Amino acid sequence: MGLAQRRVSRLSNNQEPTIPPPENVFPANLDVAELLASGWRPSAFRQFILKVHSRCDLACPGCYVYEMADQSWRTQPRQMSPAVVASTAFRIAEHARTHRLPDIDVILHGGEPLLAGPESLEHIVRTIRGACSEVGTRVRVSMQTNAVRLDETYLKLFHDLEIRVGVSLDGDAVAHDRTRVFANGRGSHERVSRALRLLEGPFHHLFAGLLCTIDLRNDPIATYRALLEFDPPSVDFLLPHGNWAAPPPWRDADSTATPYADWLIRIFDEWRETPRFRTEIRLFHEIIRLLSGGDSRSESVGLSPASMVVVETNGAIEQSDILKSAFEGASATGLHVLTAAFDDALGHPAIAARQLGVRALGPECRRCDLVNTCGGGLYAHRFRPATGFLGPSVYCPDLYRLISYIRERHARDTARLEGRV
Ligand code: SF4
Of 23-27, 103-107, 209-213, the poorest mean pLDDT is in: 23-27
Is residue 401 assigned to a domain? Answer: no
User: Which residue is closest in CA terms to ligand 1's atom 6?
Assistant: 365
Please compute the mean of the pLDDT values over residues 224-236 and round it to a whole number. 95
List pLDDT tens digits, range 151-168.
999 999 999 999 999 999
Classify 163 as helix, strand or coil. strand
Is the CB of residue 64 less than 8 Å from the CB of residue 321? yes
Phi-psi region of 371 (alpha: psi -120 to 50; beta: other; left: phi over 0): alpha
SS3 138: strand
When divided into structural domains, the chain yields a total of 1
How big is the CA angle at 236 (ends 206 and 223), to the nearest 5 degrees? 105
- Of 296, 371, 378, the residue with max ligand 1 atoms within 8 A of its CB, to mutate for a pocket test, comes to 371
Pocket mutation for ligand 1, best pick of 251, 358, 399, 406 (most atoms within 8 Å of C-beta): 399
Asked if residue 400 has its Cβ within 6 Å of ligand 1, the reply is yes
Q: What average pLDDT does range 188-194 have in this prediction?
A: 97
- DSSP per residue, 342-382: HHHHHTSHHHHHTTSGGGGS-HHHHH-TTHHHHTTS-GGGG
Give the atom of ligand 1 at the shortest distance from the alpha carbon of 399: 3
Is residue 77 situated within a structural domain? yes
Measure 249 CA to ligand 1 centroid, in angstroms: 20
Residue 190 lies in a domain: yes
Q: How far is the CA of 375 from the centre of ligand 1 (A)?
A: 7
Residue 62 in contact with ligand 1 by CB distance below 6 A: no
- Count CB-CB contacts under 10 A for residue 306: 19
- Distances in Å between the Cα of 185 and the Cα atoms of 3, 146, 180, 188 are 11, 16, 9, 9
Residue among 400, 403, 406 whose CB has most ligand 1 atoms within 8 A, to mutate: 400
Which residue has better confidence, 4 or 231? Answer: 231
Residue 401 CA to ligand 1 center (angstroms) comes to 10
Q: Judge whether 363 lies within some domain.
A: no
pTM comes to 0.90
Protein residue with least CA distance to atom 3, ligand 1:
400
pLDDT at 14 (0 to 100): 43
- Report the atom number in ligand 1 closest to the C-alpha of 371: 5
Distance 377 CA to ligand 1 centre (A): 7
Atom index in ligand 1 nearest the CA of residue 364 equals: 7
What separation in Å is there between the alpha carbon of 287 and the centre of ligand 1? 13
**Residue 380 pLDDT grade (very low, low, confident, very high; cuts 50, 70, 90):** very high
Beta carbon of 302 within 6 Å of any ligand 1 atom: no
CATH number at residue 163: 3.20.20.70
Q: What is the number of the ligand 1 atom nearest to the C-alpha of 392?
A: 1
What's the whole-number average pLDDT of the chain? 90
Residue 329 lies in a domain: yes
Over 60: is that where the pLDDT of 275 sits?
yes
* Residue 287 near ligand 1, beta carbon < 6 Å: no
| Residue 185, pLDDT above cutoff 60 | yes
Cβ–ligand 1 distance for 395 under 6 Å, the answer no
Distance CA 352, CA 256 (A): 31
pLDDT score, position 9? 32
What range defines the domain where residue 79 resides? Answer: 3-8+31-357
Q: How far apart are CA 16 and CA 406, in angstroms?
A: 36
Condensed to tens digits (0 to 9), the pLDDT of residues 335-372 reads 999 999 999 999 999 999 999 999 999 999 999 999 99
Domain membership flag for residue 225: yes
Residue of 59, 202, 195, 55 lying closest to 115 (CA atoms)? 55
Look at 49-63, 225-239, 294-308 and tell me which has the smallest mean pLDDT: 49-63
Task: Tell whether 24 is covered by a domain.
Answer: no
Residue 304 inside a domain? The answer is: yes
Distance 96 CA to ligand 1 centre (A): 34
Tens-place pLDDT, residues 99-147? 999 999 999 998 999 999 999 999 999 999 999 999 999 999 999 999 9
Lowest mean pLDDT among 17-21, 61-65, 185-189, 327-331: 17-21
